[in-house]
Amino acid sequence: MTDLIGRARIETGPLRYDGPFGRVRIIRTGEPANQFEADLDAAELLAAVTERGDVLIELETLCHPAIQLHDRIQLNAPNYPTERRIEGRVHAISWGGANGVAGKTMTITLAVPHDAINQLTETEEVSDGLTDHP
């Protein structure tokens, strides 16, 4: 029996597959009878996830011991030519380091509401972050 892979993608906005917050994969196992059922299941799962409310964004930053779970923090949305802030709740924290010595970085998983990300309008051209500014 061949494994079937169902796919569903958000096509517009910052959460689109090739957007700044896209390419989030969700894997679920099951036994669909055919490709149509696999794609239908993927579309239903995508609808359920987007209705649930939060997008988990992982970011790496310098260690800051004052940041705790459930804190609300703001960050500048990446790849935009002007400053655009989004706010989220700290969902998880992972500290860097080795052999019992704290590192200089930490990874934060931020839960950001879908609405906050969808409100990032893309009327301006998205920057690649490499352009020199005079």
DSSP assignments along 87-110, one per residue:
EEEEEEEEEEEETTEEEEEEEEEE
Tell me: pLDDT of 123 over 50. Answer: no
Can you give the pLDDT at residue 108? Answer: 92
Region 108-133 average pLDDT: 65
User: Is the whole-model pTM more than 0.85?
Assistant: no
The H or E element spanning position 45 is: helix 35-52
Structure token digits, residue 50: 């987007």
Q: Is the pLDDT of residue 130 over 70?
A: no
Question: Which pLDDT tens digit goes with each residue over 29-88?
Answer: 778 888 898 889 888 888 887 777 788 888 888 988 899 999 999 888 766 666 778 888
Give 41-48 contacts, CB < 8 A, sequence gap 24+: 41/6, 42/6, 42/7, 42/8, 43/6, 43/8, 45/8, 46/8, 46/9, 46/10
Q: Per-residue pLDDT for 134 more than 50?
A: no
Q: What is the pLDDT of residue 77?
A: 74
Collapsing DSSP to helix, strand or coil, 60 comes out as strand
* pLDDT score of 68: 92
